[in-house]
């Protein structure tokens, strides 16, 4: 069997750079996000003194300084909002720091930052299956090529003549196997709103902005090793006394290079995170 003569294959990438509207929306949302967090942090810091007059802090489940140790995992990615890369997995291990900014009977508004010394990302690898129908019937499988943006099989027919012999068949690209990439990440800008701080079980909203640097270009080649990140999520924090607690949360997590590399498919994940928290200092 004679495989089809063709140039070196590049990864199928029907949507690898995103539409112009997607790039514009990404830029606008990123800027609004950082401006909002900066303004909110300044306003809350100015109100910290006033919050101390509402009720004695000893009655609240609300630490002034909090250190957390967390693990986070996502089993899949899809086009939730901005990213187009499918079937990506994330696994993170890190620490968080929260500082109380504003506190009353309704809400505990905190600055939140995260450091991730272990940030793993997994990409599905491509497999090329060539099925010949003429002049002979047979199949050639070429595995372990570049990552795919999406895993929907891409099928193309080929037919050409060489030395009077016609070769024809189908060429199919799909996903098979995974490749994990090591990285580190930081989210220095963030907030957390805990509601009902007089209760030991508190629902909360959380959000962060930062970056991830990986040892290899992700989620595909030519997409760069430096990516911006942001997340928004919600969860419940359960206090075990006034000094220790456990958080369970779900986040929408986005990662992309924001047009700083040749291609920018972006990754959208639904991320589950568990954090064990304890008080720093005496308050």
Q: The CATH number of the domain where 225 resides is what? A: 2.40.160.20
202 domain-assigned:
yes
152: left (phi over 0), alpha (psi -120 to 50) or beta: beta
Q: How many domains does the chain have?
A: 1
Tell me if 219 is assigned to some domain.
Answer: yes
Structure-token pair, residue 276: 């064990």
Quick one: pLDDT at residue 207? 97
Tokens of 32: 């609004």
- Burial (0-12, 13-18, 19+ Cβ within 10 Å), 242: middle
Phi-psi domain of 101 (left: phi exceeds 0; alpha: psi -120 through 50; beta: other): alpha
Residue 145 lies in a domain: no
Q: d(Cα 19, Cα 189) in Å, to the nearest integer?
A: 28
pLDDT attached to residue 141: 87
**pLDDT-derived band at 58, boundaries 50, 70, 90:** confident
What b/e readout covers 6-31, taking b as 16+ CB neighbours within 10 angstroms? Answer: eeeeebbbeebbbeeebbeebeeebe
**Looking at the domain assignment, is residue 69 inside a domain?**
yes
Instruction: Quote the pLDDT of residue 281.
Output: 81
Other C-beta atoms lying within 10 Å of the C-beta of residue 5? 9
**Domain that includes residue 246, residue range:** 43-123+180-279
- pLDDT of 86-124, one tens digit each? 999 999 999 999 999 999 999 999 999 999 999 999 999
Instruction: Give domain status of residue 11, yes or no.
Output: no
The length of the chain in residues reads 283
Predicted local distance difference test score (pLDDT) of residue 26: 56
Q: Does a structural domain hold residue 51?
A: yes
Residue, of 151 and 57, whose pLDDT is higher: 151
| pTM (2 d.p.) | 0.78
208 domain-assigned: yes
Residue 136 lies in a domain: no
């Amino acid at each position: 069997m004679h495989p089809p003569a063709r140039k070196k294959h590049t990864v199928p990438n029907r949507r690898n750079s995103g539409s112009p509207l997607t790039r514009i929306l990404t830029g606008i949302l990123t800027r609004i996000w950082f401006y909002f967090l900066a303004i909110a942090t300044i306003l809350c810091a100015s109100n910290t003194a006033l919050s101390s007059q509402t009720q004695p802090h000893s009655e609240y489940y609300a630490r002034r300084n909090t250190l957390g140790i967390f693990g986070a995992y996502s089993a899949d990615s899809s086009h939730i909002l901005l990213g187009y890369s499918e079937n990506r997995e994330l696994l993170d291990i890190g620490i968080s720091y929260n500082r109380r900014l504003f506190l009353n009977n309704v809400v505990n508004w905190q600055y939140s930052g995260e450091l991730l010394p272990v940030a793993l990302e997994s990409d599905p690898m491509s497999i090329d299956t060539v099925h010949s129908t003429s002049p002979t019937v047979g199949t050639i499988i070429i595995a372990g090529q570049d990552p795919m943006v999406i895993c929907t099989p891409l099928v193309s027919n080929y037919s050409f003549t060489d030395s009077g012999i016609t070769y024809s068949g189908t060429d199919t690209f799909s996903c098979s196997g995974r490749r994990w990439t090591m990285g580190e990440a930081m989210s220095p800008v963030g907030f957390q709103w805990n509601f009902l701080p007089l209760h030991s079980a508190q629902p909360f909203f959380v959000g962060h902005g930062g970056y991830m640097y990986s040892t290899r270009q992700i989620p595909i080649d030519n997409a760069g090793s430096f990516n911006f990140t942001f997340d928004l999520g919600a969860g419940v924090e359960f206090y075990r006394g006034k000094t220790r607690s456990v958080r369970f949360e779900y986040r929408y997590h986005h990662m992309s290079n924001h047009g700083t590399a040749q291609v920018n498919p972006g990754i959208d994940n639904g991320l589950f995170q568990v954090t064990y928290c304890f008080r720093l200092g005496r308050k």
